[in-house]
Amino acid sequence: MTEEPLIYDLSSPGRQGVRSPLPQFDPVDPGDVLPSSELRSDLPLPEASEIDVMRHFLRLSHKNHSVDTAMYPLGSCTMKYNPKVNEVTARTPGLADIHPYQPPETAQGALELIYELEALLAAITGFPAVSTQPAAGSQGELCGLLSILAWHESRGETRTQVLVPDSAHGTNPATGTMSGLQVISLPTADDGGIDLQNLKESLGPGVAAIMLTLPSTLGLFERRIAEVVELVHAAGAQVYCDGANMNAMLGRVRPADLGIDVMHLNLHKTFSTPHGGGGPGAGALAVQAHLEPFLPGPRVVRNGDTYELADPPPTSIGRVHSHLGNFGNLVRAYTYIRSLGADGLREAADDAVLNANYLRAALSDDYDLPYDRTCMHEVVLAGTRQRRLGVRTLDIAKRLIDYGIHPPTIYFPIIVDEALMIEPTETESRESLDNFIDVMRRIAREAESDPDKLHDAPVNAPVRRLDEVTANRRPNVRRQPPASGT
């Protein structure tokens, strides 16, 4: 693969991409307005034509992988295709150009959209109250747990512990710690669910909540969820559900109907907003009625035909964002829900579950299956038989790059040895899934016949395999001078 030069290497003195018009005012000598220490005699910017710049960045873009170019099966992240109508809507001037601090009477359309989005999310989840203020899933988790603690405090109770199954998202124990609670891990039973006996032994007057992920990071629905909820409530604690995997339950399960008390939704996963690279996200928070007074505020309320911002009550955990969340993401989620409707959302969940089980059945002869039961929207395989041949899961992931497929999540969940966590989502076609299956089988055969080929992968990518430990500990982001003679 041809290496793309730096834009500086395409530079030629005096070359221009855009010719600026002559100034319509008398020029100012920089020395008259700036101290000499701030003046530069040279400014080493690249000088290139417009077509060279366009071709350079287009070639660079072709070296990147994206969900728009090929399969992106990251488990636990729901990297589904993002319909472009969402982007068009989010860029509508009346929505894209508003300011979060302009008077509510001048932003009625935006407030109406938020009000209706909260109502739609309430209908989808079954919860009576929703706040779109949290700016990410992690912030939604924090707000949910803080709301639970505020509720306990309003009842004159001080609880200092939170239970987190080891099959929950990794952010859950972090959120518990940030909330000042002692995190108690619950082991997974042999069938991949919560160990009820261990749960009973762990519950006590000091437990504020259990934070579980449904479906879990094993890609499994908790078969004993009714018993879990009953046990937790009997101990006076609350049930928090990490809703990052709601993509599997749309139109099929309303979490509130299961007795869950609070849940955050990753709008940037389930409802298709592009995410990654640090954000922006959207972590809407849905709660049962008894927790509504503790939601972050302000919130949008309707007064006749007018939409207003209501100050939070004294019981609220307060404001956690500069306004009402990342508004552009809310527009995208609203568009996605309105575009699909109830039937479309249910079909999306059905297809996501079907696709994951199609992969599970097709690959179970070539890779180990730690929990051999019907999965939900993602399937967790294990590269343990390949490891016995000297090939690690990391080698398998790197080899996928050579076949034009983004690697799935690896070594997570951490309770699965040599884990490969694969989420095809509902947006991949049968042909796309069959290609992925064929590639995974090829890699399994390579592990048997030529394991060194996998140790060297990727061999066709713009960058070969990096020393990831050194790259993380001692990153070098400076431009390197060209080697002598090149």
Answer for the pair 50, 18: CB distance below 8 angstroms, yes or no: yes
pLDDT in tens, 53-73: 999 999 998 888 888 889 999
Most confident range (mean pLDDT) of 76-80, 260-264, 455-459 is 260-264
Q: With bands split at pLDDT 50, 70 and 90, how would you rate the model's confidence at 486?
A: very low
pLDDT top residue among 461 and 77: 461
Distances (CA, A) of 183 to 33, 70, 171, 231, 416: 59, 39, 12, 18, 21
AA identity, residue 399: R
Q: With bands split at pLDDT 50, 70 and 90, how would you rate the model's confidence at 473?
A: confident
171-178 vs 137-154: helix axis angle to the nearest 10?
40
Mean predicted confidence (pLDDT) in 152-161: 97
pLDDT in tens, 403-443: 999 999 999 999 999 999 999 999 999 999 999 999 999 99
Q: Report the pLDDT value the prediction gives residue 484, as an integer from 0 to 100.
A: 45
Query: How many CB atoms neighbour CB 34 within 10 A?
Result: 11
How many percent of the chain have pLDDT more than 90?
Answer: 75
Boundaries of every domain in the chain: 1-18+46-53, 84-339, 348-472
Residue 123 to residue 133: CA distance in whole angstroms: 18
Q: What is the β-pairing status of strands 306-310 and 419-422?
A: unpaired
Burial class (CB in 10 A: 0-12, 13-18, 19+), 147: buried
Mean predicted confidence (pLDDT) in 368-380: 96
* Fold held by 84-339: Aspartate Aminotransferase; domain 2 (3.40.640)
Identify the weakest region by mean pLDDT among 84-93, 290-299, 370-379, 475-484: 475-484
Q: Report the pLDDT value the prediction gives residue 314, as an integer from 0 to 100.
A: 95
The class (CATH top level) of 348-472 is alpha beta
Q: Report the pLDDT value the prediction gives residue 471, as an integer from 0 to 100.
A: 79
pLDDT in tens, 100-120: 889 999 999 999 999 999 999
The token pair that represents 25 in the structure block: 């005012």
Q: Which H helix or E strand runs over 403?
A: none
Answer for the pair 242, 264: CB distance below 8 angstroms, yes or no: yes
Mean predicted confidence (pLDDT) in 270-298: 85
pLDDT in tens, 18-49: 877 776 777 788 888 889 888 887 778 899 99
Residue 478 to residue 12: CA distance in whole angstroms: 22
The token pair that represents 48 in the structure block: 């290139």
475-483 long-range Cβ contacts below 8 angstroms, 24+ apart: 479/6, 479/8, 482/9
pLDDT in tens, 191-201: 999 999 999 99
Q: What is the β-pairing status of strands 379-382 and 419-422?
A: antiparallel
